[in-house]
Amino acid sequence: MESSFNGDQVAIIAVTRKGVALGRRLKQVFTDCHLYLPKRFTAGQMPDEYIFLAPAKKVVQKAFAQCRYLVLIMAVGAAVRLLASELKGKHEDPGVVVIDDGGTFAVSLLSGHLGGANQMTRKVAAFLGAQPVITTASEVSGTIAIDLLGKEFGWQIEDGDSLTQVAASLVNGECVGIYQDAGETDWWHEDSPLPSNIRVFTSIEAFMEFHCQAALIITDRILDERPQPLPGGAVTYRPKSLVVGIGCNRNTEAMAIEEAVKRVFREHRLSIRSIRNIATIDMKKNETGLLEFARKYHLPIDYFNKETLSSVEFPSEPSATTLKHVGTPAVCEPAAILSSGNPSLVVPKLSFDQAVSVAVARVYFDSHKPAKRGRLFLVGLGPGAPEHMTFRAQEALKASDMVVGYKNYIKLAEPFIAAKEVRSTGMTEEIQRAEIAIESAQQGKTVSVVCGGDSGIYGMAGLVGELLHERGTTVDVEVVPGVPAMVASAALLGAPVTADSVSISLSDYLVPWNKIRQRLEVAAQADFVIVLYNPKSKKRQHQLAEARGIILQHRSPVTPVGIVTNACREGQRAVITNLQHLLDHEIDMNTTLIIGNSTTFTFYNWMVTPRGYLNKYRPSNEVPR
């Protein structure tokens, strides 16, 4: 079927078999998108795919006239020849992105700004792990991408409604004012001038008097003033620029702390979104209410000992009671000063019900000495193939200064980490790897610790958590989830884990073998689907046979077993067998086994554990066993 285009969609046009496969992947990125492919490659055609009759000239011309974006999977030369006769001008032409059919480069070919091809190119490139090629002048000199402004520093956009409008003002060369009173100042490269339609203000009075079409406002304050009129709208960014020093009595409830902080922020017209972190005394490491409050707002805590706190000058009266109880005459003010690096406070100490005291400091940002706060990403890369890696994982890798991990996993991350500092270590150097990562993050680097699958499943997340706990440090940590081996393997087998399951690692490197045996025993007895991780390695051979023996005491020898090696990566192998024949198959340290429960059955090349629907709703319709 050849369709007519409906005006605001993305048309992906592919001309080769590889291109069609790439186009099919790419469809996931867009909501309103169709793939156009030559008749020869229609095997597996989906409802949102249309066939065109070769050559591609007609379909490309039609799409060019009617669609908002074209993604052409072909050589740039071919695209230029197909489009040459159609070009009208940058105000009319759709955005055109060209991708080679190997998915290596994504080129913003036409209408980079107004047509949105540059933005589209970045999106497509990020998804495919391709190199974006953008050649428009203001991009090269670096124009402001307003949806990305400050993202690397953790700035949050507060009112995004006017984003498109303000972006249009920027690219159309209309007058745009930027007001900034907080946050990192190195969001612009000093060596290239800002486009001439943009003016930056640090004085609110000057900004108010300036007549601009649209504005970007970077502040941690709730501004009462707004320049008038702003026909093009305004976007507010909340930088992470405030440190809240908190002192509290033992067992103060989270709610009381939250109320106190909220009140201070309300009364002093500050935005809670701009809190970078909390600062307090190290005696509060186990203060439940404070930890609960920090968790609720995802805030890291900086701890200082009493000697360090005592060494700082602070504005309020020293407190004899505080000195008596914790050994320093004040907590909230010196903690805020130390953590922010700014000796003067935005809000000096305020006490509430003699239980909580709060002080606020603004972080001092110096563009020559960026006060960048370190960040730690614990990235689950998924089973291996880039299409199974999440967007967030790719973003984290790209945002990182440094990537740490076991060398095989670094290999998986390679497409996203060109030119980054890489620390790869061997298999048994996990502690060293985690320590390098934590220390580098403390020094201000953004660090990704990479793991196969998910880092919370037999991965590094637990170890990093333990080390942070041991050190009493709270760097800013984000665990980025990944598709774990169990899920990737299950998908290749059909639906083997649809009911209750347990996963057991057969590695007795960190857990005594007796304990593992015990867990196997209980799981087998309770009729769980059992997922076996780490079944075998060169040094560990006997465990799997023993595990099988234990399970066989409770389950029939014909119980289905799925054996998956290298799921979703090179060397993928999936076999369905049963408990009796399990040991006849090749199994190694890249294998995951899924052992069915008493209801699991197989047919064709599927392994299915019924959830129970048919039994409940169609009891007469016996499911084959």
By the rule CB under 6 A, 459 interacts with ligand SAH: yes
Exactly one of 451, 464, 530, 550 binds ligand SAH (CB under 6 A); that residue is 451
Edge-first strand order for the sheet with 234-238 is: 156-157, 234-238, 214-218, 176-180, 198-201
Between CA 159 and CA 71 the distance in angstroms is 31
Exactly one of 9, 489, 599, 600 binds ligand SAH (CB under 6 A); that residue is 489
By the rule CB under 6 A, 220 interacts with ligand SAH: no
Of 331 and 516, nearer to ligand SAH (C-beta) is 516
475 and 493 Cβ atoms separated by less than 8 Å? no
488 and 497 Cβ atoms separated by less than 8 Å? no
Q: Which residues contact 133 (CB under 8 A, 6 or more apart)?
A: 105, 106, 107, 108, 121
Taking the CA of residue 16 as centre, how many other CA atoms within 13 Å lie in the half-sphere pointing to its CB? Answer: 13
Q: 460-471 and 430-442 helices cross at what angle (nearest 10)?
A: 60
How far, in Å, are 67, 97, 173, 443 from residue 32 at the CA level? 11, 16, 29, 44
By the rule CB under 6 A, 543 interacts with ligand SAH: no
Instruction: Report the site for ligand SAH in 13-42 (rule: CB under 6 A).
Output: none
Of the candidate spans 25-33, 51-59, 265-273, 451-459, the one that interacts with ligand SAH by CB under 6 A turns out to be: 451-459
Exactly one of 453, 481, 562, 596 binds ligand SAH (CB under 6 A); that residue is 453
Give SS3 for 158.
coil
By the rule CB under 6 A, 452 interacts with ligand SAH: yes
Burial class from Cβ neighbours inside 10 Å (0-12, 13-18, 19+) for residue 541 reads exposed
Of 227 and 384, nearer to ligand SAH (C-beta) is 384
332 and 246 Cβ atoms separated by less than 8 Å? yes
Closest CA to 590 of 452, 412, 392: 452
Of 108 and 566, nearer to ligand SAH (C-beta) is 566
By the rule CB under 6 A, 385 interacts with ligand SAH: no
Of 116 and 481, nearer to ligand SAH (C-beta) is 481
By the rule CB under 6 A, 547 interacts with ligand SAH: no
Of the candidate spans 4-12, 48-56, 84-92, 587-595, the one that interacts with ligand SAH by CB under 6 A turns out to be: 587-595
Nearest residue to the partner ligand SAH, using Cβ: 453
By the rule CB under 6 A, 143 interacts with ligand SAH: no
By the rule CB under 6 A, 591 interacts with ligand SAH: yes
**Bond into 55 cis (ω within 30):** yes
Exactly one of 145, 163, 499, 589 binds ligand SAH (CB under 6 A); that residue is 589
By the rule CB under 6 A, 567 interacts with ligand SAH: yes
Of the candidate spans 212-220, 361-369, 586-594, 599-607, the one that interacts with ligand SAH by CB under 6 A turns out to be: 586-594
Between CA 79 and CA 121 the distance in angstroms is 15
The nearest distance, CB 556 to ligand SAH, in angstroms, is 24
By the rule CB under 6 A, 484 interacts with ligand SAH: yes
How far, in Å, are 201, 366, 400 from residue 182 at the CA level? 12, 11, 24
By the rule CB under 6 A, 252 interacts with ligand SAH: no
Exactly one of 383, 386, 481, 596 binds ligand SAH (CB under 6 A); that residue is 383
By the rule CB under 6 A, 530 interacts with ligand SAH: no
Q: Which residues contact 485 (CB under 8 A, 6 or more apart)?
A: 383, 452, 453, 457, 533, 564, 567, 592
Q: 76-83 and 57-66 helices cross at what angle (nearest 10)?
A: 70
Of 130 and 461, nearer to ligand SAH (C-beta) is 461
Between CA 583 and CA 548 the distance in angstroms is 9
Of the candidate spans 77-85, 163-171, 563-571, 577-585, the one that interacts with ligand SAH by CB under 6 A turns out to be: 563-571
Of the candidate spans 40-48, 420-428, 449-457, 616-624, the one that interacts with ligand SAH by CB under 6 A turns out to be: 449-457
Binding-residue total with ligand SAH (CB under 6 A): 24
- Contact positions toward ligand SAH, by CB under 6 A? 383-384, 451-454, 457-459, 484-485, 488-489, 533-534, 564-567, 569, 589-592
